[in-house]
Each structure stands twice: as C-alpha cells, then as structure tokens.
Structure 1
C-alpha cells in the first residue's frame, strides 16, 4: 500500500453519446465548460535597474481540464499596479497588458504570462497583478515583492529546462534533468557554484517554543564553475548555490532532487514525512525493520484497525499533501520539511492568507475545536533563496494541533 502514495489520477475517457440533451443535461454541460482560475504564482527577473520582466504561472481550467492558451487569451484580461508597499495607496506605476501569443504560452498544465514593467526609481515595491474574466466580475489577484535595485544572481538569472522557453517558478531541478541558466538578455557569463551534500532537518513542532541553537555552519562539499546560456546537468542530489560574483553572500539556490520528486514513492523516503503524525517509537520501529514497505503497511493498517481500504485512502490523502507541499514550498530544502509545508500537510490549505513585506499570516476558519486560527510566518534572510519563512511558534497551538493529528491517525481526514 505504501507504494500507492501518489496523488496523480488517471481518468478513463468515455465517448459522448449522440443524443439530444435535456435541459438538465445542458445545464450540467454548461457548468462543465465554465472557466475557473485556481491560483497564480509569480516571479520576476531584472533586465537592469530600470526594467523588470514579470512571469505569472496560472492554474486555469475550462470545466475540469487545463485551459488552452488561445482560450485564455480570448477569455481574460490583465492589469497591474505597482505600490510602494503593502497597505499603501502610493502608486509607483500601472498599466494594462495586451494578451496574445507573444506573451502567453502553455507550459505543462500551466498558463505562463510574460510581461515587462518599467522599474520605478525605488529600491522596493509591490506589484499587484489582476487577471479578470471578460464580461464577468470574476478576478484573481497576485502580489509580488520586487527589489528593483538588487542585481543579485537570483534576481537576474532564471532556470530554463530543455522543454520550456519560460523560467521555472520552482527552486528545484530533478537529477540529470537538462537545464540552462539565462539572464533576460541571453548573454554568456561564467558563474560559480558551491555544492552542499547536506540533508536538512524537517520542521519542528509548532508548539516547540524552545530557543533555537546558533546557526550551524554548512560544510562545503565542492566548488566549480559553469557557463550561463549553455545546457547543464547536475548528477548529484543536494543543494547548489550559484553566484555571479564570489564576493557576494547571496546566491541562487537550486535543490537537485531525485527523478520522482515532488512525488514520494520510495519506501525509505515515505517514512520521513510521517514524523508530523507519528510518535518517536513508531518511527523507530519502522527504521529498525528489514523491509520498509512491509513496516509501512503495518503502520497504516494498525492505525486504521486493519481496514485496508481506509488505510489506502489515508495514504493517498497524506502523501498527496506531501507532494503538494513539495510543489509549493520547496526552497533550499524539500517543501515538506519547511514550516509552511508542515502546516499545509497537517491542516491543509489556509482559508485566507494576508501578506506584508516580511510576513505571511495564514488563517484557518475552523480546525478541530478552534475557530479563526492564525499561523504567522516571518521572512528570514537566507543565503540561498529570498522566500524563506519561519513559523512563530506558540505552546497554545497544542489543543488545535493534536486533534487534527489524531484525525489523520484514525482515518477521519481523506
């Protein structure tokens, strides 16, 4: 059963019957063709201190299927405003972006929009992008912090795969996956790489308020140089920090992960995320087992009182969350190991997110016996990525956290 820990689903296509639809069938068909925007993610690359290129990665559906690029162009509009900061009305710029085949493309299941903005003469700003559906009041907003003067390698270079003309929004590359590092001009340059063969720890309990030890020093495994604008492959898993100038302290962190990531299917790897819902003794027993898969099956079956179907449903649900956390929150370490990933796996997606320059607050309307539960994440300086957040921990989370964990353990969450 542990080998079934994948959230991918295959649906068999049924040919349409050639019959005249009833009014009810027509209504269902109409709903099935509705356009829906699920989410927007974003990033930017600086051409120089006067111009920025913005990329929006949009999950959009037509009915239940990912929308085609031409359908998206016909259906949606894009406007943007640049504010001086969160919570202010001080506009630094605004505009409308004409969507066409030159700036809208399909990458996998996502729509990717690329557009240019003139950078204001400020160090920092907040770009608010609004995608609205023509003829309706439906719209989705995305906010993006931009450091207009910070010409670091992470703000100048994007990671492109062999199959995409747009930079990746994610921080990871699969082992032996071909990729290229490019700036917006596509000009050649030598870049410097520091490689760390280090396994970072998973997030600690949200109730653990004990003061952290002083930051550990990472041991460098190796250093080497690469060329921008040339195909590359990294053949060892681990963390690679890429610099244009070795005197700089911040680089472009790139995590190289196994070929199946963000999925987790290998029994040895499936054990690790269980720490968020298991006791130390349970983890220890599985680690001592000669056969990881059998030990994992026994673990889930024991929790579900021998109900194999319930165990399979719980496995799919839990590792589906793990996969989503890997997709959404991977930074210098796997997404499931981050503070955001831990909260997401156990509690699911938040009902509301409030952001400021250096903070995110996730609100859950109801979890367990509590209402309006808030989790605050503070942005922390990090030498690898600029979106590293740490949870503010409170002992008071205990009566909220443990009932949800218990719901995972008895199969109530599916």
Structure 2
C-alpha cells in the first residue's frame, strides 16, 4: 500500500469528464417543462445535438427585456461552430402569463445571425430582445428547432418584468465580451465588469462576507431547521459599474445599485481551479455525503491530508488501487458538475440539488413549475420512480435558491446507493 500513497490524490488534479450540462428540456408542457440532464453527445460523426440550454435575462427598464441563451451544441463529438448552428436551427419564443396557463402575452421569431450568436466559454450564446408585456411577470418559453426535422429543445425562464432589482438590471460580463456570464461565480483575479444594458457608469455598493456556508443536510433529516446563523458583513465598499474588476479575496459579495432594495446581485468568488476540486483540504469536505463522522474526523486530525485520503479510499476498496482510482474520478466528476450546475451563494456541491446530484446522479426527468422543481429517478437503490421535490425560497443573494423537502422514507433508497459508492460499484 505504501507505493500507492500519493498517486490516488494525483488523479484528482486531472481534467474530469462528465455531464457538465444543464437541464435540457425535451418537450413543451404549458404547466411545466420536463427536462433531462446528462445527455450523451451524438454518436454519428455529423449528427447535430443540443445537449443543454440555460438562460438569463436583463431588463433595460419596464419596457424592454433582453434574453441570453447558453447552448451546449455538438456536431458528433465536436462542438458546433456558429456557422453550422446558423445553417441548422431556428429560434422562436412564446411568453405565457404563468406556468399552467395558455394565456399568451407575446410571441415572435428570432432572426439568427453572427450579430446575435457567438461563442463564449465554449458554448454558443444567443441574445434577443422583445418589448416587455405590461404585466408583473411572465414565463418565456424559447424553442430551438432543427431545420428539416422534428427535433427541438425548449427552455423556460421566469421574468419579473416590473421588479427592477439589481440582479434584474445588472449582470457580470467577462472583460471585453458582449454576453454576461451564465454562472454565479467568478474566480480570483478573473477580470470582469458589472454592466446594465445601457452600459452607463453608476456607483454600486458592495457588501463582502467571508463566510463558509454549511453543506446540505441528510435528505432523511426531518428535524426542524435550526435558527439561521447571523451573517456578519466583513467589509463594505463602492465600485463603479463599467470599470474592470478583479476580486482577490474568496467569499460572497452582494452588490446593490439601490441599498433600499432587499435583493442584490450575489457573486461567489472562488479559487482559480473551481469548479474542479483538487486541494486536499477541499477534497475532504464533499466526502461527508458517503462517509461516517468517524471517518471524516480521522482524516481531519491527520497530519498528512494526502496520506489520510489515500488510506481512506484504499481501505474502502479493500486495497484495490485501480478501483479506488476509478471511484475517485467518478465521485469528484460529480462534485465538479454539481459546482458548475448549482453554485448559488455557496458552492454547488453544498446545495440540496448538488447533494442529490452527487449521490444519485442526473435525474431521469425534471418537472418545473413557478415555485418548485421535482426530480424523478426511474430506479435508484431499492425503489422505482423516486421523486425529490425542491421548493424555491426567497434569498437575498440569488433568485434560484431551492430547498429539498426531506422525508424519512428516503432511507431505503439513499443508503444502498451510498453503500454502492463505498464499494466502488457506481460507474
């Protein structure tokens, strides 16, 4: 075993592959969108596939809305070029008054060209604009359809047309690019700008929190939640929108154009390797979802984290180093994907969605409504058609914070899958 010490941890520095896609909608249902995550790339060399579509909006004022679609697009196993996409897809949209209704507030076709489609962070980004309906809010349903086929991908986006909070008006843009980031995090020393659609220079108030948020609790823990911990502001400072910024301190930043408002633009600043997890101290934390308290405490007390982690994995796999290596890759690939998909005001692996995703993998379908998401697994552990419900909750930092509805009845589903991880059976 001594010869294996150190080599397993080196595995974690590799580039992990995985389903780092978002949820890809499969068909239109006016009261909800059914989506699948973790779709595989097209097998045929020239087959076109849109693996995932994410979206966000910016309000210019109460009359104009701009939408950005971030598309994981492939031709075979290669990413699709802008020209290939433009020659192969159409985009149209419908605005409904709410989920569960067919009350249409507007609709239109988007003419796609190199003026509104480009590549950013390996994804195709599409932007389009429309006149905001004279309503408090609505649900935008965007449809990307492949020309000459019946294939289409849908994306739904709730837009509060009259809300006008900071995160409705401002977004984080990489330096010298025309599209905002699709993520809630930036890396230390990454150069960004905070912009509104008018690109006007305005003072913004920033509240910095140096706080380590707790990971998600067990899905079986139905005990009443403890009182929320008080968040202390570490520092407050002012920045100017449009100026180039680099955040050097990791932590949570909440940005306000108007400090009388309750909700700001939450931004998590992370290390330059994120969403990957490679530092030994950080590798330990996500193991709590498949480990006992005793195992975690023993690693924490160890003088050599790397050696303790090696020993942990090799012990679980009965000294089978190749199996330990594969299990490490599988587990931390899930952690990386959870960070990429679900990071909000805290790292994605710490969220309720991230916990379920890491242990159980991508759901077989996701059903969304205005205030909740339901993830369905066709079969996990000893059960079939298992549902996990996430309720959307108000949050001062982000507008997509979800909390899991916990049940003691998850126990016969959860523990067999955790045991499968500990035996190296998960692939």
Query: Among residues 40, 51, 55, which one is paired with 1:38 in the alignment?
Result: 51
The answer for the alignment partner of 2:141 in structure 1 is 128
The answer for the alignment partner of 2:11 in structure 1 is 4
- TM normalised by structure 1 equals 0.94
The answer for the alignment partner of 1:47 in structure 2 is 60
Distance of 1:273 and 1:170 partners within structure 2: 21
Going from structure 1 to structure 2, the CA distance change for 1:55 and 1:252 (only over 3 Å counts) comes to same
Q: Kindly state the Cα deviation for residue 2 of structure 1 after the two structures are TM-superposed.
A: 2.0
Distance of 2:282 and 2:80 partners within structure 1: 34
Equivalence map 1:336-375=2 (5 Å): 336-375=349-388
CA contact (8 A) 1:57 1:112 kept: yes
For structure 2, the 5+ residue unaligned runs are 1-7, 18-41
Q: Tell me the alpha carbon deviations over residues 55-111 of structure 1, each in whole angstroms, 9 at most, x when there is no partner.
A: 000001010011111111111110100001111110000111011001000112200
Matched, 1:320 2:320: no
Matched, 1:144 2:157: yes
Q: Kindly state the Cα deviation for residue 217 of structure 1 after the two structures are TM-superposed.
A: 1.6
The answer for the alignment partner of 2:405 in structure 1 is 392
CA contact (8 A) 1:7 1:319 kept: no
Q: Kindly state the Cα deviation for residue 164 of structure 1 after the two structures are TM-superposed.
A: 3.2
The answer for the alignment partner of 1:20 in structure 2 is none
Going from structure 1 to structure 2, the CA distance change for 1:30 and 1:3 (only over 3 Å counts) comes to closer
Query: Among residues 126, 130, 134, which one is paired with 1:113 in the alignment?
Result: 126
CA contact (8 A) 2:256 2:265 kept: yes
Matched, 1:74 2:67: no
Q: Kindly state the Cα deviation for residue 246 of structure 1 after the two structures are TM-superposed.
A: 1.4
Q: Kindly state the Cα deviation for residue 161 of structure 1 after the two structures are TM-superposed.
A: 1.2
Query: Among residues 101, 107, 111, which one is paired with 1:94 in the alignment?
Result: 107
Matched, 1:85 2:92: no
Q: Kindly state the Cα deviation for residue 202 of structure 1 after the two structures are TM-superposed.
A: 0.2
CA contact (8 A) 2:88 2:146 kept: yes
Distance of 1:268 and 1:102 partners within structure 2: 45
Matched, 1:215 2:228: yes
Matched, 1:382 2:389: no
Q: Tell me the alpha carbon deviations over residues 105-159 of structure 1, each in whole angstroms, 9 at most, x when there is no partner.
A: 0112200000002111111110000101111111111000000001111010010
The answer for the alignment partner of 2:207 in structure 1 is 194
For structure 1, the 5+ residue unaligned runs are 11-28
Query: Among residues 278, 302, 308, which one is paired with 1:265 in the alignment?
Result: 278
Going from structure 1 to structure 2, the CA distance change for 1:94 and 1:382 (only over 3 Å counts) comes to same
Query: Among residues 293, 309, 312, which one is paired with 1:280 in the alignment?
Result: 293
Going from structure 1 to structure 2, the CA distance change for 1:347 and 1:6 (only over 3 Å counts) comes to farther
Distance of 1:208 and 1:30 partners within structure 2: 42
CA contact (8 A) 1:57 1:110 kept: yes
Instruction: Give the secondary structure class of the aligned counterpart of 2:384.
Output: strand
Query: Among residues 180, 183, 187, which one is paired with 1:174 in the alignment?
Result: 187
Distance of 1:157 and 1:3 partners within structure 2: 40
The answer for the alignment partner of 2:24 in structure 1 is none
Q: Kindly state the Cα deviation for residue 6 of structure 1 after the two structures are TM-superposed.
A: 5.1
CA contact (8 A) 2:380 2:417 kept: yes
Going from structure 1 to structure 2, the CA distance change for 1:288 and 1:39 (only over 3 Å counts) comes to same
Instruction: Give the secondary structure class of the aligned counterpart of 2:339.
Output: helix
Distance of 1:108 and 1:191 partners within structure 2: 27
Distance of 1:59 and 1:314 partners within structure 2: 27
- TM normalised by structure 2 equals 0.91
Distance of 2:316 and 2:214 partners within structure 1: 26
Distance of 2:177 and 2:334 partners within structure 1: 26
Q: Kindly state the Cα deviation for residue 249 of structure 1 after the two structures are TM-superposed.
A: 1.4
Matched, 1:251 2:264: yes
Instruction: Give the secondary structure class of the aligned counterpart of 2:72.
Output: strand
